[in-house]
A and B are shown apart, each in its own frame.
Chain A
Amino acid sequence: MHEPTEFDRRSFMAQAGAGLAAVTLLPSLGLARQPSAGADIRVGVVGAGTHGRDVLREIGRMEGARVVAVCEPDERRLRSALRRGRGAEGFASIEDLLAADLIDAAVIATPTYKHLDTARPFLERGMHAYLETPLAHTPADTIELARLARGDRGVVAGGLQTRSNPVYQLARGFARSDSVRDVVSMRAQHHRKTTWRSAGSRGPGGDANWKLDPARSIGLAGEWGTQQFDLFHWYTDSLPTHVRGHGSIRMHQDGREMHDTIACTLEFPGGADMQYSATIANSYEGRYEVLYGTNAAIKLAWSHGWMFKEADAPTQGWEVYANRQQFHNDEGITLIAGATQLAEQGKLKDGVGLPYNSLYYNLADWLGAIESATEPASGVEAAARATLVGIAAHRAITTGERVEIDTTGV
């Protein structure tokens, strides 16, 4: 009988490790969906500001979809967008775009306070639509958008970018298992030094600096926090019940009323709180989220993710082969989407970090859902609930009150 050699044993352990990793990773991996090359979905982009420009760039990188129309009343922005989306037709109004009957699907890339009016004609016609999150700047608009998106309609995505991100999908499996175990607390931040002013359209109907206008903006908590709050809703299958917060102007003493630095605490059922901070006065460590559990913490930074295990947490077989990264006194296991396949090819390290950004994955997922007539990873109802949490957080910060979060109506 053949006795295993040392080489055989190592080889067996490697295969066994890969097999265990497969069991652990694949159910939660949710391979990134995108349209097939032959889908030829005709997309219209409504709004050609900086976000519309990002949308044009990401769809321009995809096979299976093309931007055939851009709708933007500002002539300068429209001209700039049409250079990027070569071959696309320009429209100054939604009525003209719809009358041309050119598109299968629309991406709504206008300022938050315009989302409802912009999206309504597309949703009422039952068209496929991609809505940005936050969905709206008021609870009434949010609920109305969610209502319009229900029923007999096309595929409508809610723009929650973590939900289609392969690293976040992978991490969710760990977050909901013994790997993390019981949630102790949650934390997230978004730090980016910027004016938050806009070089947008001026003159009648212009939207320049809408983010600084208290009547049209839901501040940092709403505009930035909503996406990050949703991560914890999604991971814990629960919504916060109350929110407290405060804010101040630490840097931009230019007459604005909107805080440039905020912090808030979201109270989740069961006692686990989520701490959130955002500032446009400092960039340190950028944007990330952390879920602290009794067995491990998971840190997610959009293109990257890590798991930091407690010393007394049980070791799983695949960890022997995992890629690791040192952070001061802590060692993180790199969360790699598709780790099993990469490990089998000896290319595990090539998988560290995602090749595309979260907007790409979310748009691709939506377009893939259109092709397959299925639900997108980022649904409108979840986006509406996250938006209502973001609006409540903004209200808590501006009033200084502890605000009850009400998501009835969605």
Chain B
Amino acid sequence: MRTRFEVVIGACDAPRADWDAIAEETLDLAEDWHARLTRFEPGSPVWLINERAGSDAATPVDGLMIELLSSCARLVHATGGAFDPTRAGAMDALEVDADAMTARLKRPGVSLDFGAAGKGAALDDMARTLRSLGVTSALLHGGTSGVIAIGSAPGEPEDADGWGVCAGGRAVRLRDEALGVSAPAAGDAAGTSHLIDPATGKRVSRAAPPAALICERALDADAWSTALAVDPGLLVPAGVCQIEIEQSLSQAAREA
């Protein structure tokens, strides 16, 4: 995913000597997800699905990929298409067979690109693994734009309101939640945003405001923040907390 993932463990049921091993096992999952979702490496499931678009050949996928595709279909519907892994309003071309464990794009020219949502799916899997290994306090992020907090920060009471995180110059607290940030200004040197509006197929203006949200899952947070950056007028549903952040985030991204 060409992104740096980091894990900080604050508390765990396992002996202290094994915390590094727990972090290593968790970080291995980032590579596991990369192998699943990369569009650029021949042989990956997403590369194969894209390569075979328009043909009858379905691509074998694993259970986590089936879950991701199913979640994405739900999020595309909920965001009115502002979030769309086909980037072209073409989710109807995606055919998922959960029994046969395969996926296929029915139309040629359509392709999948999970972008930040792929990072969110990886973070959710990593957080699930940390919890299952007895971790009760941790902070993990992917590229700093997707963050998950487990429990409260070390040194704070167990019932404290979580880890302190800075998003676009604004301090927020996260506890068993995920933060997703999307900034159209974080584009390329040519002055265009990396975000594409699926409705028009055009890149989003870099002057568009950044979006930040808190959700239970990182996949939802990343998908909704992408959707809001594309369409700032979207209404977010219950369970999704939109954070007002200043244009300073765009400025910071530009300077970076």
Contacts and interface: CB of A to CB of B under 8 A. Distances in A.
A80 B67 CA distance: 13
A195 B62 contact: no
Closest 5 CB pairs of A and B: A86-B63, A355-B43, A197-B21, A60-B62, A355-B42
B154 interface: no
B43 A356 contact: yes
11 contacts: A50-B28, A57-B35, A60-B62, A60-B101, A86-B98, A86-B101, A194-B24, A195-B20, A197-B24, A198-B18, A199-B133
Contact of B25 (A50, A79, A86, A254): A50
A53 B17 contact: no
Given A57-B35, A86-B98, A199 B64 contact: no
Interface stretch (A61-69, A387-395, A400-408): A61-69
Nearest to B133: A199
Contact of A61 (B60, B63, B133): B60
A80 B41 CA distance: 26
A197 B43 contact: no
A195 B24 contact: yes
A139 to B, nearest CB: 29
Q: Which of A56, A197, A254, A354 has the most CB of B within 10 A?
A: A197
A79 B128 CA distance: 11
A199 B42 contact: no
Interface in B28-85: 28, 32, 35-36, 41-43, 45, 60-64, 66-67
A103 to B, nearest CB: 17
A208 interface: yes
Interface of A: 50, 53, 56-57, 60-63, 66, 76, 79-80, 82-87, 194-195, 197-199, 202, 208-209, 254-255, 350, 354-356, 360
B25 A87 contact: no
A62 B60 CA distance: 6
A324 to B, nearest CB: 21
A202 B63 contact: no
A336 to B, nearest CB: 13
Chain B's interface size range is 20 to 34
Given A61-B60, A84-B62, A356-B43, A66 B101 contact: yes
A98 B45 CA distance: 31
Contacts of B8: none
Contact of B20 (A76, A197, A350, A360): A197
Nearest to A63: B60
A189 B10 CA distance: 35
B232 to A, nearest CB: 35
B22 interface: yes
A79 B133 CA distance: 12
Contacts of B200: none
Q: By DSSP majority rule, is chain B's interface helix, strand, loop, or mixed?
A: helix
A309 B14 CA distance: 53
A118 to B, nearest CB: 21
Q: By DSSP majority rule, is chain A's interface helix, strand, loop, or mixed?
A: loop
Nearest to B29: A53
B101 A87 contact: yes
B43 A76 contact: no
B129 interface: yes
A57 B32 contact: yes
Contact of B63 (A87, A194, A255, A354): A87
Contacts of A57: 32, 35-36, 62
B30 to A, nearest CB: 13
A86 B62 contact: yes
Given A57-B35, A76-B133, A86-B98, A199 B18 contact: yes
B230 to A, nearest CB: 30
Given A86-B63, A199-B14, 16 more contacts: A57-B62, A60-B62, A61-B60, A79-B132, A83-B67, A84-B64, A86-B98, A87-B101, A195-B20, A195-B24, A198-B18, A198-B25, A199-B21, A199-B133, A209-B18, A355-B41
B214 to A, nearest CB: 25
Contacts of A354: 43
Contact of A197 (B18, B32, B42, B98): B18
Given A76-B132, A87-B99, A198 B21 contact: yes
A350 to B, nearest CB: 8
B14 A202 contact: yes
Contacts of B133: 76, 199
A195 B24 CA distance: 8
Nearest to B130: A199
A255 B18 CA distance: 13
Q: Which of A57, A61, A80, A198 has the most CB of B within 10 A?
A: A61
Nearest to A355: B43
B219 to A, nearest CB: 14
A53 B22 CA distance: 15
A207 to B, nearest CB: 13
A286 to B, nearest CB: 14
Contacts of A85: 62-63
Contact of A80 (B42, B98, B129): B129
B140 to A, nearest CB: 15
B50 to A, nearest CB: 14
Interface string B220-248: 00000000000000000000000000000
B32 A195 contact: no
Contacts of A56: 62
A197 B16 CA distance: 12
Given A57-B32, A86-B98, A355-B43, A195 B60 contact: no
